[in-house]
Chain A
């Protein structure tokens, strides 16, 4: 807790406390609305994808053939597993099972890291072929880098979120039966990151 003595009431570090139940409901609604904005953000990119795929079907077939569907499948499985452990973490928080909560958060972070590593090798291979933004890039690979790049950014944000939850769970023992909102809201965000990938994967790799 920050030291309040230097701050007048109603400033950032000296905030009146809300009733935790109210706060939980507020944050949950807020996060759902935020997820809607994320869907629309990616919605724009998906619209570009469909417009361009409709215009250049052959280019997209050729591009998809260049992608490594095995790595893509692997990443899909990794993210699905991470969503599962995240759901377990939320459940553990609601039941007040500290150990289970911490381990499931750690596992979620680990799956996220595996995703990043696989993505790194995938991008490295593509860039090794000379397909890099700014250099003789065709529309398919532009979309590939834009969508996976923006998604990657969201994975990083989600992992930071989970890292914060982990820190609070370990250091402050903050989450228990009466206060599990943070974990639940972090979970909501992480599931969305997963869901976006579930759409990206078939669009880019399979069709």
Chain B
């Protein structure tokens, strides 16, 4: 706590200048650069999503033609998945917090960390290259899943986008590798595995998936590129290949990847809840191990994306069963979070609102996953709005809500300044209402049989589409309020002090914003992170 004895305190945000940032190996700066980059793409992809929703305000075609509609939902999905939500929480909050939370000066490979960011920038650049060229020929319209055989035949820019995703995969693998080695090797003395904050456990689990799943999508996308360039025929039925094999390969990565997105979000929630209920986390080990369990099970459930694509009876049966198994560790987490709140002195500040909002929305996401994992009902729900609503509840209602909540929670640590609490709460409620208004109707529309990815719809679906589109606009406005509040706070907010929330975690024991080398002296840890209400709180 004596920060000025050995050296002059200077926050990591100084000195500025392009050179000092773009070549930095400091995990905090890299985390912030990732944050700016992914928020940039979040806004772009969000606007694409709003264009889709604007088109769906009324039956018939208003703003874009059929191809344009395909382009915008593809851009929305591709950019959101590969450029925003996969790096998402690990690359931003994870990079910033992981060394602070385990009492290290940096990650294990600081230069590799920077390389991973540069690769991300390169990958993003290659994805953007796909936009060069005539709008009706070059702009990708395959959807973010690049299903063959259409992605082989399509005249649009499949190669730049898949190549970009391939490159982004390297960035993802390097971040995951770096985190695993950091967690194994860089923990401060006394920071045993069972004293680590749960956010670190969730990063560890997500990193394992990043390491093990990403190479498979890498080879899949590479084969798709080769297919287009040389006609190697693995996925083309007319050359003897099998398009369903592409789906298997693709989902072998892309199902685990949703846990890369959601596990760190769960970690954020587990950090926020005990601080604002002034109570130790309930069931620490159960939450920690369930993260690992989710990571393991995630590799054996990809088949549920193919229930109607052609799959044997027994495979379907087994994949359905395994998919249900994911509900067990997930429910363990939810129950333990709620038990943490029980008899705590709960304070509904804005990070806590987001954490509770996460539990609510994520529970809906999880429960609506069950009819999709059930063979009989999935035949009906497959490729309808029900699926779209389900995964938006996990991705936006889960991951994005947790990311925004985490940003509010750690903003004072990142910039040393506090946001406006009232505007933060208004932002949360706008987001909560707008989000539910967007996607609740889509559950019903999907139940009625409205297929996804259609540019037009029948008149009887008009009212709920209209409600959903209005909700999407509120959803969009909410992000303007939230981000505006945060950006204003970073420049003009009042000074936050080093521990505004009275948290016990290590990152709050150093000044805000932290100095470049984090800790003047590597701390020695003697107790777990969640000793709220036990002794010296």
Contact = CB atoms under 8 A, between A and B. Distances in A.
Interface stretch (A34-42, A105-113, A175-183): A34-42
B211 A30 contact: no
Contacts, number: 118
A33 B180 contact: yes
A42 to B, nearest CB: 8
Interface in B177-219: 177-178, 180-181, 184-186, 211-216, 218-219
Interface in B225-265: 226, 229-234, 239-242, 245, 249
A10 B186 CA distance: 18
Main secondary structure of the interface of B (DSSP, over half): helix
A interface majority secondary structure: helix
A26 B108 contact: yes
Nearest to A6: B19
Interface string A127-154: 0000001100111001101100000000
Select the residue from B181, B226, B517 with max chain A CB neighbours within 10 A.
B181
Given A29-B185, A37-B211, A16 B219 contact: no
A37 B214 contact: yes
Given A44-B215, A139-B233, A139-B240, A25 B185 contact: yes
Contact of A10 (B25, B220, B223, B234): B25
B23 A13 contact: yes
A146 B225 CA distance: 12
B461 interface: no
A199 interface: no
Given A9-B516, A41-B215, A146-B232, A47 B24 contact: no
A81 interface: no
Give the size category of B's interface with A: 35 or more
Interface stretch (B109-117, B332-340, B408-416, B427-435): B109-117
A37 B241 contact: no
A129 to B, nearest CB: 17
B228 to A, nearest CB: 11
A139 B241 contact: yes
Q: Which of B112, B177, B229 has the most CB of A within 10 A?
A: B177
Q: How large is the interface on A (under 10, 10 to 19, 20 to 34, 35 or more residues)?
A: 35 or more
Nearest to A139: B240
Nearest to B239: A139
A11 interface: yes
Nearest to A7: B23
Given A26-B181, A33-B211, A41 B232 contact: no
Interface string A166-206: 00000000000000000000000000000000000000000
B310 interface: no
A51 B242 CA distance: 9
A34 to B, nearest CB: 6
A120 to B, nearest CB: 19
Given A11-B19, A30-B109, A139-B234, 6 more contacts: A11-B20, A15-B111, A16-B517, A26-B108, A44-B220, A133-B230
Interface of A: 7-13, 15-16, 22, 25-26, 29-30, 33-34, 36-38, 40-45, 47-48, 51-52, 55-56, 133-134, 137-139, 142-143, 145-146
18 contacts: A7-B19, A10-B25, A10-B516, A30-B108, A37-B177, A37-B211, A37-B214, A40-B213, A44-B218, A44-B223, A45-B219, A47-B249, A55-B242, A133-B229, A134-B229, A134-B230, A139-B240, A139-B241
